[in-house]
């Protein structure tokens, strides 16, 4: 049998049949769709696409919140031999035309919350694609059509209408559908994914059926989740991690997938995450550092609100639990475990078990992807009893390259390399680095992308003799775990040419400072290292100096908190002094997706931040700006405290 996404869905429909697969929330509660229903509706949507004239290899964009219709629409496109172009709902309108024009989309699945973005830039799109709304009513459809001079049913329609149209023409077009399904090859492209990137302009990553099949099988073989497991997708469907592990891996193991209730738009979606987790009681969650970091902060705030006794039990139990478990792989001495066992178990019985109830009570673990996950976060959740098994990957690898897992894990690492992936660490001279020495991570396997769409130059730079050069730096430790240290293009560079990855320092600052919300550390052949920071103004206002308007004293508190990580066991003596910021500049607003400073997984888009705040960066290397008590910091801080 061909190793394709279609064969995975076909096998799932046969093996799991009427078992529930996808779940959306409606007014009446959670609405399931079985594996067989999803397969049937995917074929109906494929017939609709054929009926509307889409040819084998044509592109279909998806710009909508995650839902059953999102997944069924993509499966339908694959049945018709088409290519999916999943897009982030956080895209600015101005970012849409390039993606539409570059990929040449013929149809777009949109949400009522995103369709206006498309229509607002229709004049800069080469040809406005057919629009299928994944949510909304007929009245909604008529209103959108009337406001934008569109014809309902002709160039804009609802997803259920598309399914009906497909069903009505299924008998007539069944031979063509079967012909297309049979024609799909393992090397055919499934998706063109435009990454938002953190160091440059986006490129269209082409992932094939074999890429997805191989990565799904590796993911399943590493975790071996049982059939009765469930998860709720709190990451966007266009995110490669959520796309592969969230949508596709369930086809191999029959797990149930829930989508966060997005009715009411993005803010409603964010508000609903907590309550939806409580309702669905997931067995595991897919996460990124920004999401798990937010969970951690809310847990700590909730404990503090319970009073000093609860805080004491929690904090002492957390410290003892970290000592008791060690790094999860190399066990601490018997004496250390004995000494910390009782206070850890007391905290677990009195506090930790109650904290875990906020995740529904069934959560066994989280799987972490995206940016580097700070070791302090890993220790926190491991001690709490819901470990984050951090992994490493990138979209070009479909995306999983390595992961910690229940059977073998080590905190502070990105785990073991996936079974069918070959991973090497290369020095700048192109030689294989010895254990413990950093170099570029280079991989080979069936999960490696076909290339960048319409970009032979970028493809040739990334793919060399069958190897994917990731642009990430890492090393193997003595126990064979992969340790990722950051992006090569994000490196700090000292005046003498020495290089260092900033991500771990940034995570250390943000995770220990009560006042710093975000930090971007900078050094590009300069005499000292600096940082751009955004502040948690709500926390600052609790300072007595803030209430009395003593701006310089508040600045002193911010400065002291910036270096708080130095007193933490996890970070003590971890970073060379030359890479620790000597000064900082406070920015007037946080890095957000709206201002383009972070991408959809909350990673800082470094080149955009530098371009926007170049003047502030340069200022930190002047005699005045070199002192954190400078006039600009005072002015920005004064304005933040007033608001």
Mean pLDDT estimate for the chain: 93
How many Å separate Cα 560 from the centre of its chain? 31
Does residue 213 sit within a domain? no
Whole-number percent of the chain with pLDDT over 70: 98
Residue of higher predicted confidence among 640 and 403: 403
Q: Residue 598 has what DSSP assignment?
A: B
Cis check: omega of the bond before 399, within 30 degrees of 0: yes
CATH code, domain with 613: 3.30.300.30
What are φ and ψ of residue 464, in 5° steps?
A: -130, 115
Of 460, 489, 518, the last residue of a domain is 489
| DSSP alpha helix (H) spans, 131-187 | 138-147, 159-168, 170-183
Determine, yes or no, domain membership for 449.
yes
Write the pLDDT tens digit of every residue in 443-500.
Answer: 999 999 999 999 999 999 999 999 999 988 899 999 999 999 877 777 787 766 677 8
Compute the average pLDDT of residues 178-196. 95
* Same domain flag for 472 and 505: no
Q: Give the range among 26-30, 173-177, 500-504 with minimum mean pLDDT.
A: 500-504
- Tell me how many domains the chain contains: 3
One domain, residues 471 and 504: no
- The CB-side HSE value for 28 (13 A sphere, CA atoms) comes to 3
The pLDDT of residue 199: 46
User: Could you tell me if 525 and 466 lie in one domain?
Assistant: no
Say whether both 527 and 428 belong to one domain: no
Bigger pLDDT: 471 vs 5: 5
| Same domain, residue pair 371 and 450 | yes
3-state SS, one letter per residue, for 467-496: EEEEEEEEEECCCCCEEEEEEHHHCEEECC
Average pLDDT over residues 345-369: 94
Backbone angles phi, psi at 622, to 5 degrees: -100, 165
Q: What pLDDT does residue 129 have?
A: 97
**pLDDT tens string 398-411:** 999 999 999 999 99
| Digit-coded pLDDT (tens) for 239-259 | 999 999 999 999 999 999 999
Is the domain of 476 the same as that of 527?
no
Instruction: Quote the pLDDT of residue 198.
Output: 45
Residues 444, 565 within the same domain: no
Q: Residue 569 above 90 pLDDT? A: no
Q: pTM of this prediction?
A: 0.84
What mean pLDDT is predicted for residues 592-600? Answer: 82
d(CA 210, CA 219): 14
- The answer to whether residue 265 sits within a structural domain is no
Residue 26: count of CB within 10 angstroms of its CB? 9
Residues 294 and 318 occupy one common structural domain: yes
Determine contact, residues 621/495, Cβ cutoff 8 Å.
Answer: no
In a domain, 227, yes or no: no
Same domain, yes or no, for 29 and 121? yes
Determine the pLDDT at residue 406: 97
What CATH number has the domain bearing residue 356?
3.40.50.12780
Q: Examine the pLDDT at 197 and tell me if it is beyond 70.
A: no
Residue at a domain's end among 456, 489, 522:
489
Q: Which of 459, 489, 519 is the last residue of a domain?
A: 489
468 lies in the same domain as 512:
no
At residue 600, the pLDDT reads: 66
Contact 367, 287 (CB under 8 A): yes
Residue 431 covered by a domain: yes
| 262 found inside a domain | no
Please report whether residue 277 resides in a domain: no
Assess whether 293 and 403 both reside in one domain: yes
Q: Give residue-wise pLDDT tens across range 113-139.
A: 999 999 999 999 999 999 999 999 999
Same domain, 617 and 629: yes
Among 429-443, 488-502, 571-585, which stretch is predicted with the lowest mean pLDDT?
488-502
Question: Is residue 168 a part of any domain in this protein?
Answer: yes
Domain that holds residue 162: 5-184+232-256
Query: Distances in Å between the alpha carbon of 459 and those of 170, 204, 454, 562?
Result: 40, 10, 9, 40
* Average pLDDT of span 281-293: 91
Q: Which residues contact 53 (CB under 8 A, 6 or more apart)?
A: none
CA–CA dist 200, 461 (Å, integer): 14
H runs (alpha helix) in 385-512:
456-462, 503-512
- Residues 540-564 have a mean pLDDT of 88
């Amino acid at each position: 049998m061909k190793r394709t996404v279609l064969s995975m869905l076909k096998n799932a429909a046969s093996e799991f049949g009427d078992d529930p697969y996808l779940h959306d929330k409606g007014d009446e509660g959670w609405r399931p769709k079985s594996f067989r229903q999803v397969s049937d509706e995917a074929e109906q949507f494929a017939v609709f696409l054929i009926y509307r004239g889409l040819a084998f290899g044509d592109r279909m964009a998806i710009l909508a919140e995650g839902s059953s219709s999102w997944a069924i629409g993509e499966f339908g496109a694959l049945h018709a031999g088409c290519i999916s172009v999943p897009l982030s709902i956080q895209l600015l309108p101005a970012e849409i035309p390039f993606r539409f024009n570059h990929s040449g989309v013929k149809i777009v699945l949109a949400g009522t919350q995103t369709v206006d973005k498309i229509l607002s830039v229709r004049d800069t799109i080469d040809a406005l694609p057919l629009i299928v709304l994944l949510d909304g009513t007929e009245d909604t459809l008529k209103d959108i059509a009337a406001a934008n001079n569109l014809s309902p049913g002709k160039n804009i329609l609802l997803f259920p209408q598309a399914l009906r149209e497909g069903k009505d023409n299924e008998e007539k077009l069944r031979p063509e559908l079967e012909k297309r399904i049979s024609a799909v090859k393992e090397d055919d492209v499934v998706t063109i994914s435009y990454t938002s990137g953190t160091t440059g302009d986006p490129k269209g990553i082409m992932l094939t059926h074999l890429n997805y099949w191989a990565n799904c099988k590796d993911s399943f073989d590493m975790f071996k989740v049982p059939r009765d497991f469930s998860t709720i997708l709190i990451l966007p469907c266009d995110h490669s991690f959520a796309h592969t592990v969230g949508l596709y891996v369930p086809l191999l193991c029959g797990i149930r997938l829930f989508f966060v209730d997005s009715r009411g738009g993005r803010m409603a979606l964010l508000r609903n995450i907590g309550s939806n987790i409580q309702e669905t009681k997931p067995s595991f969650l897919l996460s990124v550092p920004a999401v798990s970091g937010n969970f951690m902060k809310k847990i700590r705030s909730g404990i503090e609100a319970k009073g000093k006794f609860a805080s004491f039990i929690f904090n002492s139990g957390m410290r003892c639990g970290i000592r008791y478990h060690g790094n999860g792989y190399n066990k601490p001495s018997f004496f250390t475990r004995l000494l910390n066992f009782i206070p850890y178990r007391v905290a677990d019985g009195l506090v930790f078990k109650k904290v875990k109830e906020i995740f529904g009570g069934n959560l066994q673990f989280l799987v972490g992807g995206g940016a580097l996950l700070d070791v302090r976060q890993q220790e926190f959740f491991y001690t709490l009893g819901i470990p984050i098994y951090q992994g490493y990957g990138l979209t070009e690898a479909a995306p999983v390259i390595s992961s910690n897992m229940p059977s073998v894990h080590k905190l502070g690492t990105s785990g073991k390399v996936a079974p069918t992936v070959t991973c090497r660490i290369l020095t700048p001279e192109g030689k294989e680095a010895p254990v413990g020495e950093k170099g570029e991570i280079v991989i080979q396997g069936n999960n490696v992308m076909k290339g960048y769409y319409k970009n032979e130059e970028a493809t040739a730079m990334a793919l060399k003799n069958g190897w994917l050069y990731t642009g990430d730096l890492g090393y193997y430790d003595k126990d064979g775990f992969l340790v990722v240290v950051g992006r090569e293009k994000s490196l700090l560079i000292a005046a003498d040419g020495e290089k260092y990855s900033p991500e771990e320092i940034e995570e250390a600052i943000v995770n220990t400072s009560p006042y710093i919300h975000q930090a971007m550390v900078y050094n590009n052949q300069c005499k000292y290292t600096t940082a751009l920071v955004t502040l948690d103004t709500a926390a600052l206002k609790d300072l007595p100096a803030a209430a009395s308007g003593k701006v310089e004293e508040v600045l002193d508190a911010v400065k002291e908190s910036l270096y708080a990580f130095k007193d933490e066991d996890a970070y003590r003596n971890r970073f060379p002094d030359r890479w620790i910021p000597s000064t900082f500049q406070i920015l007037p607003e946080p890095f957000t997706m709206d201002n383009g400073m972070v991408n959809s997984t909350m990673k800082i888009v470094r080149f955009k931040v530098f371009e926007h705040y170049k003047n502030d960066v340069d200022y930190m290397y002047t005699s005045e700006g070199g002192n954190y008590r400078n006039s600009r910091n005072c002015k920005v801080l004064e304005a933040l405290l007033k608001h």
